[in-house]
Structure 1
Amino acid sequence: MKFDQNKKISTFTSKTSTNPMKQILLKYADNGDNNFETFLQLNTHKILNGRKYINDDEVNYLLPIDKIEADREAISYAIRRCLFQKYFFAPIGEKLNTGATVLDIGCGPGFWIKDVGLDHPSSTFIGIDIATTQFPPHDRHPSNVGFLRCNATHGIPFPSETFDFVHISMMCTAFTEYQWYQVIKDVVRVLKYSGWVEIIVSDPLIKNLGKAGKLVMETFFEICEKQGININIHATMPEIIGSVNELEDLEHISAEYPIGDWGGCLGKYAATNLRKALEGIVLTDF
């Protein structure tokens, strides 16, 4: 499969086959003790330069988890909606209309899952994320949409063959390459035999950067490398998906977009999104 390194966003869609799926061990936290749960809630984040970040040595997530970041994610989501002109590429629409179960890994504020949930009231949608601070209030999302705190690298806390569709979007700075292998393997476990998984990842290559822009991006790459993040995971994703032999029908779709005022409204939003993301990531380098 050929991949264009000049593209900025890539989507991978795969369908599970009928091959038997292997079981893997899951790691869960015992939250039965109320005092322990309170302790977890008080220590789930840290403040750096006025921004809130996840406080967990096992988590490599580079972006903040505060209101500013939620606003940035809204811009990022709007850009993808403009580019793709649809919520998903997998041929799952008919199933969603009749009743399907959907998992959104790294859902954040839940923009995608809320929209798709509204459009498909007969289906059930569950968003998981390690940070609950961005979850919408109970009265601000459809009744067929729910949210759950979960570290996907510890295992997805659902039985095998639970979901018809698994969606993962813009988690490029959340997992190490090794963790991506773990997560994809567990995604296949929770997928039904006829299920689909769709992954949206970004290509960090930006054309025609000036001197200052190149310096910023070099710093960004250095921080990612220090945290064990493969920022070019888009190029490795086919290999990761291929490592799970239960997956078939791999399809790659890419979209390129302008960054800067020269690109009109979309270019301005894209530049704002990039700037705000880099501002948050750089702050984590302590």
Structure 2
Amino acid sequence: MEATTTSQPKTISPPISPTFRISGGRRFSNDTSVAYILPSDQDEVKRLKLNHDLWKELMNGLFKSDMHEQLTKGIRVLDVGCGPGWWTLDMAALYPNSQFIGIDMADVFVAQDLPSNVTFEQMNAGTGLEFDDASFDFVFQRFLVMGLSVEQYSSSVTEMKRILKPGGAIEILELINDYSNASPAFARIGSWIHQAMSARGLDSFIADKVSSVLETAGFKNITDVNYDVPIGPWGDESGEMFLSIQKLALPAVKVMVTELTDTTVEEYDKTEEQAYKEALSHQVSTRFRLIYATK
């Protein structure tokens, strides 16, 4: 199913509060209950928008669960870790009879001209979902590998099951911190990211375990789809787009790498620049997994 491309409404960048800190010119959560180690600022909003556009193309739509008819009639949908809310807004435009709620630990939500069937709430999914039992028909979550610790990931799945109605659908799209056919620079950066994530209790390969987590939680009809997304011109349009995303993603992870490993800023910057060059001559890609199931 094709997604309707939405315009890009302005987002509000909230003032710095005691729960956020500035490091390396980027804005990070300073809340000890938040495991998220990427920035929460306007540069990150740009990356998330490109990422959203890329995945609409790769998936030929916005989701894979068998929910089109129900969404057309009207159901209640939760977008966990929604960021600015690009997925929520596109879904709301496609399915005006359904109600959509997007939650994120940082208030970087789109704030202008929201449709009447969209609500955004600031909420840390790692500490629980503040919704009633069996209050949603469809729960969607993506790219929280750097946002939820191993323990939080399992507990969030349990929480998503709790708030789903019987027969409701869950869908999770997740990055795996693993560069396939990695060039020397990408291999080095991938190793640094893995070290930084491990230092914060995050699992680079949690996506490979999501199906098992869903099965343990009692979900049914589990479907697991693998993606290998190219980086660079060898991957045609998708590869070019994903390279552009890397040029926003790698600066975003620099602070966590240099804070949580022995890597220096100078060493990281040099390796990052080399990685962009190698993307033009090596066939590097990144693994992702999409898992969907029913309660």
Give the letter for the 1:196 counterpart: A
CA contact (8 A) 1:177 1:230 kept: yes
The match for 1:275 is 247
Residue in 2 aligned with 1:233? 206
The residue number in structure 2 matching 1:136 is: 110
- AA of the residue aligned to 1:45: F
Aligned to 2:291: none
Instruction: Kindly provide the amino acid, as one letter, of the partner of residue 75 in structure 1.
Output: L
Name the CA shift for 1:227/1:165 in 2 (closer, same or farther; >3 Å): same
Question: Aligned to 2:230, what secondary structure does the other structure show?
Answer: coil
Q: Which residue of 2 aligns with 1:192?
A: 165
Post-superposition shift, 1:112? Answer: 0.4
Change (3 A) 1:92 1:222: same
Counterpart position of 2:102 = 127
Offset from partner CA, 1:40-70 (integer Å, 9 cap, x none): 9721211001111111112111111111000
Cα offset, 1:204, TM superposition: 2.5
Residue 163 of structure 1 aligns with which residue? 136
Report the residue type matching 2:39 in the other structure. P
Shift of 1:210: 1.9
Q: 1:92-116: per-residue Cα shift (whole Å, max 9, x none)?
A: 1111111100000000010000000
Q: CA deviation at 1:141?
A: 2.5
Q: Does 1:99 align with 2:74?
A: yes
Instruction: Give the one of 235, 238, 248 matched to 1:263.
Output: 235
Stretches of structure 1 that go unaligned for 5 or more consecutive residues are 1-39
Q: Which whole-Å CA distance do the structure 2 matches of 1:56 and 1:175 have between them? A: 13
Structure of higher RCO (CA pairs closer than 8 Å, 6+ residues apart) = 1
**% identical equivalent positions:** 28
Partner of 2:61: 86
Q: Which residue in the other structure is 1:65 paired with?
A: 40
Amino acid at match of 1:283: V
1:252 aligns with 2:252: no
C-alpha distance after superposition, 1:213-271 (max 9, x if no partner): 211111111111111110101111112111212x1111112222211122222212112
Aligned length, in residue pairs: 244
- Local SS of the residue matching 2:52: helix
1:118 is aligned to 2:93: yes
Letter paired with 2:118? V
* 252-261 vs 213-222, greater mean Cα deviation: 252-261
Once the two structures are TM-superposed, the CA of residue 162 in structure 1 deviates from its matched residue by 0.3
Residues 33 and 126, structure 2, Cα contact 8 Å, conserved in 1: no
Ranges in structure 2 where 5+ consecutive residues have no aligned partner: 1-14, 260-295
CA separation in 1, counterparts of 2:59 and 2:210? Answer: 20
In structure 1, what is the equivalent of residue 192 of structure 2? 219
For 2:154, the equivalent position in structure 1 comes to 181
Write out the 4+ residue segments of structure 1 that deviate beyond 6 Å after TM superposition.
none
Q: Match for residue 122 of structure 2? A: 149
After superposition, residues 195-206 of structure 1 pair within 5 angstroms as: 195-206=168-179
Q: Determine helix, strand or coil for the equivalent of 1:61.
A: coil
Equivalent-residue separation in structure 1 for 2:215 and 2:150 (angstroms) = 14
TM-score (norm 2): 0.80
Secondary structure of residue in 1 paired with 2:178: coil
**SS of residue in 1 equivalent to 2:237:** helix
Q: 1:41 to 1:67 in 2, by over 3 A?
A: closer
Query: What is the DSSP-based 3-state SS (H/G/I as helix, E as strand, rest coil) of the residue aligned with 2:170?
Result: strand
Match for residue 263 of structure 2? none
Provide the C-alpha distance between the structure 1 equivalents of 2:221 and 2:183, rounded to a whole number of angstroms: 40
Say which SS state the counterpart of residue 209 (structure 1) adopts.
coil
3-state SS, counterpart of residue 277 of structure 1: helix
SS of structure 2 residue aligned to 1:104: strand
Conserved 8 A contact 1:101-1:165: yes
- 1 CA distance for matches of 2:113 and 2:150? 34
